Amino acid sequence: MDPVPALDEPLKKVLGPATAKVMAEHLGLHTVGDLLHHYPRRYEERGQLTHLADLPMDEHVTVVAQVADARLHTFASSRAPRGKGQRLEVTITDGSGRLQLVFFGAGVHKPHKELLPGTRAMFAGKVSVFNRRLQLAHPAYELLRGDAEETVETWAGALIPIYPATAKLESWKIGKALQTVLPSAQEAADPLPESLREGRGLVPLPEALLKIHRPHTKADIEEARARLKWDEAFVLQVALARRRCADAQLPAVPRRPRPDGILAAFDDRLPFTLTEGQRKVSEEIFADLATDHPMHRLLQGEVGSGKTMVALRAMLAVVDAGGQAAMLAPTEVLAQQHHRSVTEMMGDLAQGGMLGGAENATKVVLLTGSMGAAARRQALLDLATGEAGIVIGTHALIEDKVQFHDLGLVVVDEQHRFGVEQRDALRGKGKQPPHLLVMTATPIPRTVAMTVFGDLETSVLDQLPAGRSPIASHVVPAADKPHFLARAWERVREEVEKGHQAYVVCPRIGDEEDGAKAKKKSPEDEAEKRPPLAVLDTAEQLARGPLAGLRVEALHGRMQPDDKDAVMRRFAAGEVDVLVATTVIEVGVNVPNATVMVIMDADRFGVSQLHQLRGRVGRGSAPGLCLLVSEMPEASAARQRLNAVASTLDGFELSRIDLEQRREGDVLGQAQSGTRSSLRMLAVIDDEEVIAEAREEATGIVAADPELERLPALRTALDALLDEEREQYLEKG
C-alpha cells in the first residue's frame, strides 16, 4: 500500500475541477502533496504595511496597503467617443511609498464603491510603469475587514501568508485552498532518518508543514523553514550521491600519456609557460584519466583563462594512449573556431598521415551539419578507422552515422547549451563509457557546483594568462543623459582610428514577423516597453549616422553558416571595423584586436551573460572597454544589476548576484524546459552550510545503504523528486 495516499489525492477531487485546472496549468500543482509544498513567499503582519518602494517590475505581486485617495475620470476614446470612457485611479500607501492602481471601463463600478480612502486590503496584480510611475492595472483585491467571520477564519493569527501566485489565481485564493488540505499534512511521511532529524534538532515534517502555512509567531516560520530546507538539500544530495556511487562502478579504459608521445612533443613546442592553475588542473585531469572508471569533471574558468589549452592537453593524452577525443561545441561558428585554433596550436602535429606531418602526429577533423558531402564522408571515414585522433563538431557528432574507432574522452564546451540527451548520445558512442570533461566560462559558486553539478568533480582556473589586459566597464544612461550615448560612439571611432575594432551587441535580430505582435492593445498596455533594439536596424542606423564611413557589418544566428563564418573571418582579419551582432558572439569568439564593446539595451541581458560578452574584448595587449547602454531609470533593479557588472570583473561575485536575482531555476536541469524549480525553500547561495552538511550526511547514508532499503520514506521522497524526466536527467548527467 502507498504510505502517503492522502497526499497523492488529486486536487480535482478536493478543490473541484475549476480551481484544480488553474493550479495545474499555472502553478504545476496536481496533488494535495504538491499544494502542501507550495510555500508562502513571505508573510505580512496585519498591523504592518508592505514596502511599496521595493516592488519588482513585470512581476505578479501581492501587497497589503491602505487606500489614500480614489478619483474617477471620464475620457473620450474610440469605444466611447463622447467622453463616456471611465478610468478609476486609486492611490494606495504603506507609509513609506505610494502606488497607483488603475481600473477601466465597466470594471470601475465595484472598486469605486469599495475602495474608499482609509480602506485596507490585499491587492494583487502585475507591476508596470506608466508615465514613469509604478502602477497595477486592474488588480484583484480582497478587503481586510476585521469583522467578517470568514476573513478572520482564513487569515487566522497575526501573520498573513503571501503565496507565489499568478494573474489567474491570487494569493488569498491559494490560502483558502490550503486551509482545505492542511489536515492531510498529518499523514506526510518523513524522509529524514530519525537519528539525523533528532541530532540536528529539526521538527517532524507534519509539524513543519502546519507551521509554514499557519504560523502563529515568527519563531514558527523559522523552525519550519529550517526543517524544509534540510528536506530539499538532503533528498537532492542523496540523489546525487547515488549517481556518484553508480558512476564509480562503471568500467572505463585508463588512458595514460606516453613519455615520448604527442603530448610531450606538443609541450616542447609551446611558446609560453602554462600558468600555475593550468598545470594544477591538468594534473587533476590526468589522474582521473588514469583510473579504470570514467572521469566526470567540471572545468570552470573565467573567460580567457586558458580552458581550451587544458582541454587540448587532455585530448592529446588520450590520443597518446591509443584512444580518440571528441569536442562538442554549441554553435558552428564556435566549432569552426575551435578547429582553427587547435590545428594552429598543434602545427604539424595535426597533420597525421599527410606529407610534412610530424612523426607522432594525428589528424584533427571538423564535423558540422553544413559541411559538403565529400568532406563529411572523409571525416566519417577518418573517425571510423581511427585515423583521426581528435574530432571537433556540433551536435552533428551525435548522429547515428557517426562511428568512432575507440572514443576515450568527450569534452563538452559551454555545458548549459547542450541538452542532456545530446551528451548522453555522444557518451554512448564509446565501447565502454568514455571519460567526460565539461567546460564552462560561466563561473559557478561552490554551492551551486555542489548542487547542480553535484555528480561532477570540480576544477577551477582563476588566473588569467600573462599579457591579458584589464577591461573597464561603464553604464551609459541613454534616456537620462543622451550625450553619454553620443560620446560612446565617439569612443568607438577613436578606437578604430587607433587601428582597433569594436563589437555592438543587440538583443534582437530584427527580421522577425511582426504579425504575431500586432495584437490590439488595451489602454493599460499602451505603456508597454518598446521592443528591444535589433541588429539589422542598429547596423543600418550606425552606418548612416554616428559611425558613417566605418566598415560596419551584421552577424546573427539566422544567417547561413557559411555567411556567418565569412563575416567572422573578415572581422578576425581586420577587414571589418564594427561588428553589430546578437549574443552569437557570446562564447569563444577570439579577436585580440577588438578593444571596445557597446551593449545596447544591456538591461535585457542577465548578469552572467553580460560578463560573458564583455570577455570578448581586452583579449590582446591593448586595454578593453565595455559600455552598457540602458534606458532604465536610475533607481530600477535593472540599473542596479548593470552597476554591479560595471563595478567588478570577478565572475564568481557576479554569478552570486545573478543567482540571487534570478532564483536558481530547477537545479535538476528543468530550467531550460520552463517548469518550475524543484527548490522551493532552499536558496543555493544563502544556504551554503545546509547544502555542505546535507552532502556529507547523504554520502554516508548512501555508502551504508545504496538502495535505501532501511529508509522507505526517503525512497518515496526520492521517487517524487526524480519523476521520470529528472530520473533520466540524472542518469545522463
pLDDT band at residue 149, thresholds of 50, 70 and 90? Answer: very low
Whether 475 shows a pLDDT value over 90: the answer reads yes
Whether 353 shows a pLDDT value over 90: the answer reads no
Max avg pLDDT among 352-366, 376-390, 435-449, 525-539 = 376-390
pLDDT of residue 210: 93
Whether 317 shows a pLDDT value over 70: the answer reads yes
pLDDT band at residue 680, thresholds of 50, 70 and 90? Answer: low
List pLDDT tens digits, range 553-565.
Answer: 988 878 887 888 8
pLDDT of residue 518: 41
pLDDT of residue 399: 77
Cα 169 to its chain centre, rounded Å, is 26
pLDDT of residue 607: 83
* Average pLDDT score over residue span 164-173: 80
Q: Give the whole-angstrom CA distance, residue 646 versus residue 473.
A: 5
The model carries a pTM of 0.65
User: In 587-638, where do the E strands start and end?
Assistant: 594-599, 624-630
pLDDT of residue 498: 93
Regarding predicted confidence, which is higher, 593 or 634?
Answer: 593
pLDDT band at residue 176, thresholds of 50, 70 and 90? Answer: confident
* Average pLDDT score over residue span 320-339: 87
Cβ(14)–Cβ(133) below 8 Å: no
pLDDT of residue 171: 82
* Average pLDDT score over residue span 271-280: 87
Whether 449 shows a pLDDT value over 90: the answer reads no
Regarding predicted confidence, which is higher, 597 or 49?
Answer: 597
Determine the residue type at 111: P
* Average pLDDT score over residue span 442-446: 69
Query: Around 521, how many Cα atoms within 13 Å sit in the side-chain half-sphere?
Result: 9
pLDDT band at residue 729, thresholds of 50, 70 and 90? Answer: very low
Whether 155 shows a pLDDT value over 50: the answer reads no
Query: Around 634, how many Cα atoms within 13 Å sit in the side-chain half-sphere?
Result: 2
The chain-wide mean pLDDT, for the chain, equals 80
List pLDDT tens digits, range 50-99.
Answer: 567 677 776 667 788 889 999 988 876 666 555 577 889 999 987 777 88
Q: Express as a percent the part of the chain with pLDDT over 90.
A: 24
* Average pLDDT score over residue span 693-715: 88
Q: Express as a percent the part of the chain with pLDDT over 70.
A: 80
Least confident of 177-186, 382-391, 630-639, 714-723: 714-723
pLDDT of residue 490: 94
Whether 310 shows a pLDDT value over 90: the answer reads yes
Whether 512 shows a pLDDT value over 70: the answer reads no
Whether 447 shows a pLDDT value over 70: the answer reads no
Max avg pLDDT among 133-142, 279-288, 392-401, 566-575 = 279-288
pLDDT of residue 674: 31
pLDDT of residue 628: 94
Max avg pLDDT among 36-50, 342-356, 394-408, 540-554 = 540-554
pLDDT of residue 288: 94
pLDDT band at residue 589, thresholds of 50, 70 and 90? Answer: low
Q: Report the helix count and the strand count for the chain, using DSSP H and E.
A: 26, 21
pLDDT of residue 46: 56
Q: Give the whole-angstrom CA distance, residue 573 versus residue 591.
A: 9
* Average pLDDT score over residue span 481-485: 88
pLDDT of residue 285: 96
pLDDT of residue 423: 60
List pLDDT tens digits, range 621-678.
Answer: 788 999 999 988 877 778 888 998 898 877 777 777 776 665 444 444 433 333 334 5
pLDDT of residue 516: 41
Helix (H, G, I), strand (E, B) or coil at 502: strand
pLDDT of residue 519: 43
User: In b/e form, how buried is each residue of 54-85, taking b as 16+ CB within 10 angstroms?
Assistant: ebeeeebbbbbbebeebeeeeeeeeeeeeeeb
Q: Give the whole-angstrom CA distance, residue 107 versus residue 110.
A: 7
Least confident of 247-256, 286-295, 449-458: 449-458
Strand order in the sheet with 324-328: 363-367, 388-393, 324-328, 407-413, 435-440, 296-301, 457-461
pLDDT of residue 687: 76
Whether 299 shows a pLDDT value over 60: the answer reads yes
Per-residue DSSP letters for 384-449? Answer: HHT-EEEEEESGGGGSTT---S-EEEEEEESGGGS-HHHHHHHHTTSSSPPEEEEEESS---HHHH
List pLDDT tens digits, range 11-50.
Answer: 888 888 888 898 888 888 888 888 998 889 888 765 555 5
